[in-house]
Amino acid sequence: MEEKIGHGFKLLISCPSGLSHSQIWDARVQQSSSLYNGTKFRYSGYNFDVGNNSKQQPHVSLHLGLTDYRTFMGTNLSPMWERFLVPSEDDCIQCQNTSSPLGNGAVVETSDKRILVLQRSNKVGEFPGYFVFPGDHPEVSYLMP
């Protein structure tokens, strides 16, 4: 069920009413009413292009689709997450039925050689209270009309 969306993105999986395991999302929202079902970019592979001539620099192209936080909770964070995997050596094929939102992160070293970490809120759906490196998910709303 692939649908083309403006700016070259594809909707690779859409579950507007949730997956059959949507009770995971509902239970998490009851625990923390601050959860928000935001749209996220979904990682679905990459290409590494070394270039055809000496003037072209090598570059990496990411293949992105769209997903949302509810689908992530219903697939990747489901206690039955392994049921969504497809037998394959290729991670992109193996995880084609999971949400796999694209994230970014950084390791920040201070001038006195310390590493910056943040403590996640206890109101988030994934790893509440854990220490993490700074990062987040790119916002789709900034790039989509």
Give the tens place of pLDDT for each residue, 92-145: 888 888 888 888 899 999 999 999 999 998 877 778 899 999 998 887 765 555
Residues 113-124 as b/e (b if ≥16 CB within 10 A, e otherwise) read: eeeeeeeeeeee
pTM of the model: 0.65
How high is the pLDDT of residue 7? 52
What's the pLDDT tens digit per position in 16-54?
444 455 677 787 788 777 778 888 888 888 888 887 777
Distance from the Cα of residue 98 to its chain's centroid: 10
AA identity, residue 20: S
